[in-house]
Structure 1
């Protein structure tokens, strides 16, 4: 009977867990819809702004803006976008792993010299690199509590200021790009200096803009705005990916709990049948002993 009680307790525990994972899946699905709407609305604007800036700055020299100046990447800042919470499958682990691979493969010399700095947007990446004694800049764990362009811009402005002061020679962003609820694409993008367009300018089809007040002044205004938009897009992408990954993970956990319940109920029925058979055997044996006397 002790085995039956143990199995009943496990069935009760797994049933409670299944209810929790099912509720978390529903919550993530609702949050995913809002997060997906936000990134889908921003992404065309961000991509168009990036392309337009590349078209305008194609004819400008590197010295036209300090954010275009290529420097030897002696000091590197890596922005790792994760989440504040777990239970999202390999979402956070994959982002951190990608950042670690970037450091070991591309910036190993800077890492050995102690010139790698980290900004963790999300508690999981922040705590990971703090535990490993990296130079973690700032604390952005509260960013997802009120995720909007203004709050993300404060982080971007601090990064831009550090770049202008020479604290960082290059800034890279690691995040999960949202594709759909079941798929997130790990992405590494250079934020600063602003990368030049790799596409060749087609002079035959190049749009001839009338620029006021001047091309230089417009680019000077657009570059800081574009930097802020690109980081904001990365954060929104990661935010939508987080909810997609959590919804998928909770869906699988709910299914696994259902399979485990089937096995536990089968074990319970088998143990109960064995216990009943044992009791009947004892009764029959006892009756037979009495009748023989």
Structure 2
């Protein structure tokens, strides 16, 4: 049985840890509120833009002229994997890494065997994990969460768009966590390039007859790059909100587990203390009996 000093030290350590996890939970909750507001405001705009692009592309031939709609045999692939910069958020990062590995094994095994799969890691945890596993990793914009903004996401998207345009990659795929609620994040795998006429399953493509001004070609070819950049920015915002939700849940669970451990330690401490008192009483009684007999 552990000594009273050891148990007291453990109780002190658990109390200190619980104070840290409580503080981290409150910080995550504050950040989550801002991140949640950002993604909820972004979704309607991004979904409507995708619907507009899909509708116009389905009804016109101009979209096929864009270099971002070119469908080629998939020999070289870029996977944009969105993780976080920090841990202590449960399975948030490990789930994304596992999902990416499974995607490569299931869909891009031949490309990976030929060395034609590149990981563009947005977030330090993804960068570290895939670098250790020997993948070809693009380190540009891996610190996007240090200064999260549309400008940073735009730069990352433009780099991928230019690489696709000149044929460095035949397909660009996004892997990220979609925010559902504080306790739930959904792993999404979406094709960013080539741009297709697919939209959200809840948004049907209409047969609206548009009047274009200044011209059909100028408007469509200008909207397509914006839609691609918005696609990446939305994924980053989804991941950011998911991270804070996952961290808040993880810290809440850690605090709860700390409370349970503290209860067990206090019971153990009281038992050890009672055993020590009983031992001392027995020694006193034994000594008294020995003196009486003498």
Instruction: Please indicate the TM-score interval, normalised by the length of the shorter structure.
Output: over 0.9
In 2, are the aligned partners of 1:56 and 1:215 still within 8 Å (CA)?
no
RMSD of the alignment, in Å? 1.7
- Structure 2 unpaired stretches of 5+: none
Q: CA deviation at 1:88?
A: 0.2
Residue of structure 2 in register with 1:177 after alignment:
178
Residue of structure 2 in register with 1:32 after alignment:
32
SS in 2 for 1:58: helix
Residue of structure 1 in register with 2:17 after alignment:
17
Residue of structure 2 in register with 1:249 after alignment:
250
In 2, are the aligned partners of 1:78 and 1:173 still within 8 Å (CA)?
yes
Could you state the TM-score of these two structures normalised by the residue count of structure 2? 0.96
SS in 2 for 1:74: coil
1:237-269 per-residue CA deviation (whole Å, 9 max, x = no partner) reads 000000000000000000000000000000000
Deviates more, 1:279-288 or 1:60-69: 60-69
Taking the TM superposition and a 5 Å limit, the aligned residue runs for 1:264-279 are 264-279=265-280
Taking the TM superposition and a 5 Å limit, the aligned residue runs for 1:93-112 are 93-112=94-113
Q: CA deviation at 1:115?
A: 0.2
Residue of structure 2 in register with 1:59 after alignment:
59
Residue of structure 2 in register with 1:3 after alignment:
3
Paired with 2:166 and 2:265, the residues of 1 have a C-alpha distance of 63
Could you state the TM-score of these two structures normalised by the residue count of structure 1? 0.96
Deviates more, 1:54-63 or 1:280-289: 54-63
In 1, are the aligned partners of 2:59 and 2:207 still within 8 Å (CA)?
no
Q: CA deviation at 1:141?
A: 3.3
Whether 2:281 is the aligned partner of 1:280: answer yes
Taking the TM superposition and a 5 Å limit, the aligned residue runs for 1:99-248 are 99-197=100-198, 206-248=207-249
SS in 1 for 2:188: strand
In 1, are the aligned partners of 2:127 and 2:139 still within 8 Å (CA)?
no
Q: CA deviation at 1:139?
A: 3.0
Distance change (3 Å), C-alpha of 1:258 and 1:133? same
Paired with 2:286 and 2:225, the residues of 1 have a C-alpha distance of 90
SS in 1 for 2:230: helix
In 1, are the aligned partners of 2:96 and 2:175 still within 8 Å (CA)?
yes
Paired with 2:117 and 2:181, the residues of 1 have a C-alpha distance of 32
Q: CA deviation at 1:2?
A: 6.5
Paired with 2:204 and 2:154, the residues of 1 have a C-alpha distance of 34
Distance change (3 Å), C-alpha of 1:131 and 1:239? same
Paired with 1:214 and 1:92, the residues of 2 have a C-alpha distance of 45
SS in 2 for 1:83: coil
Residue of structure 1 in register with 2:80 after alignment:
79
SS in 1 for 2:211: coil
